[in-house]
A = this chain, B = another copy of it.
C-alpha cells in the first residue's frame, strides 16, 4: 500500500495521519471490552487520576481543544461517569463511582493496546518511535 510514487511517504502530514488512523482503529478494537471508544476511556483515566481538574487542564493534558473536552465530558456526564461542579468561572470535573470502578478495566485494555503494537514494532523501536513522535508534537505545537 501507498508510496509507490515515493512522494507521499516523505510527507509528515500524510504519514502521521496514516499512523494515527491505524492506531485509532486498533484502539477501538482493544477498548471494546470497556464499552467506550478510546478517547472517552482516556478522558476517564485522566479524571480518575486527577479528580477536580478543569476542562482547560484536561485539554492541556490530552492535547485537545477546549471545545472537544466540553463535548467529551458532556457525554460522559450523561452516561453517568462524570460530574461537573461550577465554582466561580471554573468548572471542576469529578469521576463517579461508576468511572472509578471501570478504571482497572480501562488500564488493562490500555496495556493490551500497548502490547499489540509492541508485538508488531518491537519493544525498543516502538518506545523510540513514541518518544520521537511525542517530542515532535511538542516542538510543532503552536
Contacts and interface: CB of A to CB of B under 8 A. Distances in A.
Number of copies: 2
A10 B10 CA distance: 24
A129 interface: yes
Contacts of A1: 60-61, 63, 138, 141
Interface residues of A, number: 56
Q: Give the interface centre of A8, A50, A133, A142 by most chain B CB atoms within 10 Å.
A: A133
A54 interface: no
A90 interface: no
Interface of A: 1-5, 8-27, 38, 42, 49-50, 60-64, 110, 113-114, 117, 120-121, 125-127, 129-134, 136-142
